[in-house]
Structure 1
Amino acid sequence: MIQIQKSKVKGIQQKGHSCQTRLLGFSSHKKRLGSYIGLCTLLTFACVSRGASQTQMLQAPGPWPTTAWSATAPESVGMDSAALKEAEQIYPCIFPSGYSLLVIRNGQLVSESYFNGQTAETPNHIYSVTKTFVATLLGIAVKQGWIDGVDQRVAVLLPEYSINPKFAELTLEDVLTHRSGIGSSRGSADISLMLEGEPQSPPGTAFEYSNIAPSLITAILDRLAKEGVAGDKSDVSGLAQEYLFGPLGIGVSEWNKGSNGVPDGANGLHMTTRDMARLGYLLLWDGRWEDKQILPMGWVKEASKYRVEFDRQKGYGYLNWVRRQSDIVQTAQGDIEVQGYFAYGHRGQFIGVYPELDLLVVTMADATDATRDTYFVPDLLHDFVRRFVFSAVKQSNNPPGQK
């Protein structure tokens, strides 16, 4: 249960938008915040494959945010400014350790708020959102022809390592879906230790969330870079800058490295909230950025497909989370069935992608706040989006790539 600190509530009251008053209004719907949080666990979500056509290459509705995000009035993209203001004010009440909240529709910022001393220029550790970046880099490797596909075996791609025979059939897809058999309990992302050890389950059979297995992907990409596939880019960091971070305009302030000197594939990236949002926009546009198809056609659909069950509310795709059931959003044109997927990092780093609404919701938070259960927060975040951001949508629109 999230506790709202009295000092924070008092500060918000002094600024003229009382958390207590707004939470009382919210409580009229669910009696009180405690009941609301409890009911979050009853929601179900959906496995989603995106429906956007991949045969059209239409122009983005606004300038691509490569250099900077453009901002616009909510009403200009079919959203209600008063409802968004309510979302901005309720967010720090529900998430007192929140750093930022961005709402982006039609590629333009319609709401941007920062808390706890943060600004648009403040980079932070994005924790497990790193995993979705790494899965995207793997998609780029497939697009470039450096890797044949996700069914390739890790042993073939890392031939210099001694591998336990039980890992002989371990594939990239097993790693992407957390069915590698490599749990996080081993602690170190040492490639040798991972591949020489005993699997916790046969690869490809059971979901076991791992904070070390994704480093197999960065090790593979690093090896490919050293083999010269990326020109003069001699490591995975240079490869990522050339093919992903640079084209999207993402400034990486830090990328933590593992014991083997290769960047951490699970938790290592540091960047601003706006830069994290650029990954969401790339996924929203099915891997296209400006006039280039950065990811293979169909990659995002496959990456956001419900592949492995996690709990009653969500499952897993390719190093990102997917919903088990859609939400119904009421608009002026009628009800829209919204199926979303999201990248999530420890205690509140979040990129919610909602293609049917051409909508992104992005947050960062203080991950040292031990009162925030890392497994419960993503469900609470989505319920916040469903209740306060979806309700701001008044006008429907075609998702990117559709007429």
Structure 2
Amino acid sequence: MTTQQDMKELEAIINKDYGNTAGIVVLKDGEMQYEQYFNDCTAESRVHIYSVTKSIVSILIGIAMDKGFITDIDQKVLDFFPDYVPKQREKTIQNITLKHLLTMTAPYKYKIAPYVKYFTSDDMVTFTLDLLGGRGKPGQFRYAPLIGPDLLTGILKQAAGQSVFEFAQENLFIPLKITAERSIVFHSKEEQLAFNKATDISGWVSDPSGTNTGGWGLTLSAADMAKLGQLYLNGGLWNGKPIVSAEWISESTKEHSRWVKENLAYGYLWWLHEDGFAAMGDGGNVIYVNRKKNLTVAIASLFKPRAKDRIDFIQNYIESKFQ
């Protein structure tokens, strides 16, 4: 039984060591156990969840597979972009598959990511295709934070015949009553910097060509993030209705690759831990699921460089208080 003293202790730790927290939601056995907001945020606030966006893209790819829009994750990436002509005559790009993108095992030509060119590109998919391949070998883990995942949203857009935002609204957000109001196109660097700090912008970033970002760019509340974790813990069912197949959830949350340097196992755009899986984004944004404890924790955070590890925080301070 969680006591008021437990909550005081937890919030003292949050305020002391995790001061950029916007909101925390804890679900145990599907029931709300804790919901609290910080830094003048409320249940209505929406913050940029950074790389947690990737794991939501994984959910959407699974839904597209279930609906038959995508038939095989071993399909070649270039099959989805028949009009694209590689700039250089090379073989590597021909062999890269959807699964390579999902498991972060696709090679890229850049050593230092060309972020300025990326953020000012009108067509992030073509920009990324131009950087795909090179001398690297498909199958070796290479985490691509921003430049790379847009190929997945580009594939989803091509396969489903609608924008990723529209597909997500229809098949995920509306059924779960998740608020994401619009696609967002930046017109200046200042707009993007303001977006990163905002708590009142609801939506998903898109490039001018209409492709939503794959590795960042979605704003959500902690409560909405918790719903996505709970959906996976429920085996893809929401209020008894199937949203995404249990088979996809099982496959996407088992180890397919590993970041050896950090000793972290990776599924299909989900990080894995001993008892479950997690979506993680810059600043301390997390969706954390512990299957053994039937526990879902969501933390929305305002951006802060080198934020303290939220997985450690969850495992050391939250799991023990919500048995």
| Letter matched to residue 351 of structure 1 | I
- 1:119 counterpart SS class: coil
State yes or no: 1:320 paired with 2:270: yes
TM superposition outliers: structure 1 runs of 4+ over 4 Å? none
Alignment correspondent of 2:127: 193
Residue 213 of structure 1 and its aligned partner are, at CA, apart by: 1.3
Unaligned runs of 5+ in 1: 1-74, 227-233, 327-338, 395-403
Distance 1:109 1:81, change over 3 A: farther
Displacement, 1:390? 1.9
1:65 aligns to what?
A: none
Alignment partner, residue 92 of structure 2: 166
Change (3 A) 1:387 1:80: farther
SS of structure 1 residue aligned to 2:287? strand
1:267-306 counterparts in 2 under 5 A? 267-306=216-255
What is the correspondence of 1:1-400 to structure 2 with a 5 Å cutoff? 75=1, 79=2, 82-163=5-86, 165-182=91-108, 185-187=113-115, 188=118, 190-197=124-131, 198-199=133-134, 201-226=136-161, 234-252=162-180, 253-310=202-259, 311-323=261-273, 326=274, 339-367=275-303, 369-370=304-305, 372-373=306-307, 377=308, 380-394=309-323
TM-score with structure 1 setting the length: 0.67
Cα distance in 1 between the residues matched to 2:318 and 2:263: 19
Distance in 1 between the 2:148 and 2:163 partners? 19
Partner of 1:401: none
Structure 2 Cα separation of the partners of residues 186 and 167 of structure 1: 19
Encode CA deviations 1:176-204: one digit per residue, 9 max, x unaligned.
11111136713327222322345361222
Q: Identity of paired residues, percent?
A: 32
Alignment check: 8 A CA contact 1:88 1:113 kept: no
| Larger RCO (CA within 8 A; separation ≥ 6) | 2
Amino acid at match of 2:300: M
Q: Could you tell me how far apart the structure 1 residues matched to 2:41 and 2:168 are?
A: 27
Tell me if structure 2 keeps the 8 A contact 1:162–1:195.
no
- In the TM superposition, residue 393 of structure 1 has moved relative to its aligned partner by 3.7
Q: In the comparison of the two structures, how many residue pairs are matched?
A: 289
- SS of the aligned residue for 1:255 comes to strand
Partner SS state of residue 392, structure 1: coil
Deviations 1:369-402 (A, max 9, x none): 23x25xxx3xx312222221221244xxxxxxxx
Give the Cα separation in 2 of the matches to 1:274 and 1:88. Answer: 18
Q: Are 2:28 and 2:322, in contact at CA under 8 Å, matched by a contact in 1?
A: no
Give 1 or 2 for the bigger CA radius of gyration: 1
Contact 2:69 2:160 in 1 (8 A): no
The Cα shift of 1:86 comes to 2.2
C-alpha distance in structure 2 between counterparts of 1:223 and 1:201, whole Å: 26
Task: State the AA in 1 paired with 2:175.
Answer: P
